[in-house]
Amino acid sequence: MNIQYIERGRYIGRLDVPKTMETMAVGEIWRIHPNLVNMRSVRNCCSKATTQTDKVFTASCPGFSDPFVKITRIR
């Protein structure tokens, strides 16, 4: 996985979640601090990637046991 950042526009320098998800291998897990991403945006990116490509992703919310947003590529 290669972490990508937005290069142009209003949100320059922030994490580029869709482009980073494209580089993930099957079974790979990406843990992100909740202050760096919006959970709704992450879920939306996972949903779009799953419906538009042959890759399947899940996103989980932070909790007490794991305080990070977790994106997993399933297939």
Say whether pLDDT at 66 is over 90.
Answer: no
Burial (Cβ within 10 Å: 0-12, 13-18, ≥19) of residue 69: buried
What is the tens place of the pLDDT at every residue in 18-59?
Answer: 999 999 999 999 999 999 999 999 999 999 999 999 999 999
What's this model's pTM, rounded to 2 decimal places? 0.88
1 found inside a domain: no
For residue 13, name the pLDDT band (cuts at 50, 70, 90). Answer: very high
Residue 44 lies in a domain: yes
In a domain, 37, yes or no: yes
Residue 43 lies in a domain: yes
State which residues form the domain around 65.
Answer: 26-73
The pLDDT of residue 27 is 95
Quick check: is 4 in a domain?
A: no
Per-residue pLDDT band at 65 (split at 50, 70, 90): confident
